[in-house]
Amino acid sequence: MMILAVETSCDDTCAAVLEAPDMVRANVISSQVEVHAPFGGVVPELASRHHLENMPLVVNRALAEAGARLDDIELVCVTRGPGLVGSLLVGLSFAKAVAFARRLPLVGVHHVEGHLLSPLLENPHISFPYVGLVASGGHTSLFLAADWHTYRLLGRTIDDAAGEAFDKVAKMLELGYPGGPLIERLAGDGDPAAVRFPRAWLAPDSFDFSFSGLKTAVRTVIERGGHRPADIAASFQAAVADVLTARAVRAAERHGVSTVVMAGGVACNRTIRDLLRERAAARGFAAHCASPVLCTDNGAMIGLVGYRRFCRGLVDDRRLNASSRLAL
């Protein structure tokens, strides 16, 4: 079965072609970074407009790279939420049009579920149950993944997502947008122990996250002066890495599982990836991180989840709608 998968939850226009169950034939991502960089963040209206322009081009490129035609597609999968509602509606409308014009089954997919399961595209030997850390610009959550489509939310951010914190600290340091890669690059020349930034551990039994206090601490250090930007970046990055990885490994210990996976845009950060693997190995756990191209938003992860939903009879109809705050 050939699958066309579309993802437009934020500012990346994504399309993938998969051969069931999980062979990725093409995975095309069109970034809008240059569009939003002058504004220091994603402008929803601009994102929607560029999705409208890019969607047919990205789908056609994915089909070409896969050596397939639209006539070969047998299943259409699409992100239905959460995300920017205008962006979601562009991808959803396109997918619905293709599905219903060609009388193909349509499956709506939860964006975070795509991230949570994306490491399985490269590591099919990963077995359930496992603890999954999803960290991106819009989400920072810990899940216990018991099986396909069976998840328990263990903790999530109570304020900013980790990726949002990276973007805002980069703005404080006048680095530009997006903040994650810029902070990581600058941190490479800094001392992660130069500034002892706070870690928000919250309640003793909590697996929730909080990054607002850390951002305030960074601003205070910048305003007081006396520290190199590289040291501030490295110390901030170390604080985020410490909390994310400690929470994930402790969740695995608490719930008696021996595998931890990480995905989402923040999972591209090498310091965080390395620390997770180090801490997991110290406890005899396995740690798997999606490769960077599968950490950022992409269509391949949507196709993976959508096909599994299709196999369980979870097919949608023309009433499928976008939901900006869709729960998992």
- Both tokens assigned to 272: 């965080």
316 occurs within a structural domain? no
C-alpha dist (Å) from residue 47 to 22, 139, 189, 298, 310: 29, 18, 34, 16, 29
pLDDT at 52: 95
In a domain, 264, yes or no: yes
Query: Residue 269: inside a domain, yes or no?
Result: yes
Q: Rounded mean pLDDT of the chain?
A: 96
Is the domain of 145 the same as that of 66? Answer: no
The parent domain of residue 225 ranges over 127-289
177 and 98, same structural domain?
no
The answer to whether residues 96 and 236 belong to one domain is: no
**Residue 49 maps to a domain:** yes
Same domain assignment for residues 101 and 143: no
Cα distance from N-terminal residue to C-terminal residue, the chain:
27
Does residue 243 sit within a domain? yes
pLDDT in the model for residue 252: 97
CA max distance for the chain: 65
Give the integer Cα–Cα distance in Å for 83 and 245.
25
The per-residue pLDDT for range 188-206, each reduced to its tens digit, is 999 999 999 999 999 888 9
The answer to the question of residue 322 being in a domain is no
Q: How many domains does the chain have?
A: 2
- In terms of Cα–Cα distance, which of 51, 71, 39 is closest to 10? 51
Residue-level pLDDT at 320? 95
Structure tokens at 50: 């560029």
Does residue 10 sit in the same domain as residue 98?
yes
Considering the domain architecture, whether residues 179 and 252 belong to the same structural domain is answered as yes
Based on the domain organization, do 136 and 255 belong to the same domain? yes
> Looking at residue 137, what is its pLDDT?
86
> What residues are paired with 19 via a beta bridge?
2, 23
Instruction: For residues 84 and 132, state if they share a domain.
Output: no
Domain match, 279 and 300 both: no
Cα distance between residue 235 and residue 187, in whole Å: 8
325 in any annotated domain? no
- Structural contact between residues 10 and 91, judged by C-beta atoms closer than 8 angstroms: no
Q: In this structure, are 111 and 255 located in the same domain?
A: no
Q: Could you tell me if 302 and 199 lie in one domain?
A: no
CATH number, domain of 241, equals 3.30.420.40
Say yes or no to pLDDT of 124 above 90: no
Pair 72, 147 in one domain: no
- Cross-strand partners of 79: 109
pLDDT tens-digit readout, 230-263? 999 999 999 999 999 999 999 999 999 999 999 9
Does residue 131 carry a pLDDT above 90? Answer: yes
Q: Is residue 122 part of a domain?
A: no
62-119 confidence digits (pLDDT tens) = 999 999 999 999 999 999 999 999 999 999 999 999 999 999 999 999 999 999 999 9
